[in-house]
Structure 1
Amino acid sequence: MVTDHGHRDEGGHGGRSAQERTAWIAACGPGLSAGTAPSVLHHADVAAHVYTALGITPDPHWTLDGSPFGV
């Protein structure tokens, strides 16, 4: 599960503060241990991890960014 970035009460996607730019990722499944997470994750890592967990090798033409969690 992945959140989007912050938001402003008056509308818009938010500013550049750490709070407005923070998003979170919650995950469970193969290769993940409860209570542990890499120190830095990026939204692009979610797709890479899902493909890895499902045993799917992404086609290079998809030009996906990101790495499986913990790699």
Structure 2
Amino acid sequence: MSRKLRMKCRFCGHWNRFQAQKIFLKHKVKGIQTYVPVYHVSEIHKCEKCGKVMQKPKELIRIEKVNLYEIH
């Protein structure tokens, strides 16, 4: 399944868009088998603003939820 991802450049902070294929990997934890969605990029992507390499074809992208609140 082809998707258009938005990813923020870690060097300059610019938001970039690129095509990626969504795939599911098997993940087994304590006898429970689940499928984790990850994204596979087919070509090298550079930031539109600074030109540094953001994603390489051999890397898989996993989107995780981030806790926005600090617990004191």
Instruction: Classify the TM-score, shorter chain.
Output: under 0.3
Q: Which has the higher helix share?
A: 1
TM-score (norm. length: structure 1): 0.24
Q: Higher strand share goes to which structure?
A: 2
- TM-score normalized by structure 2? 0.24
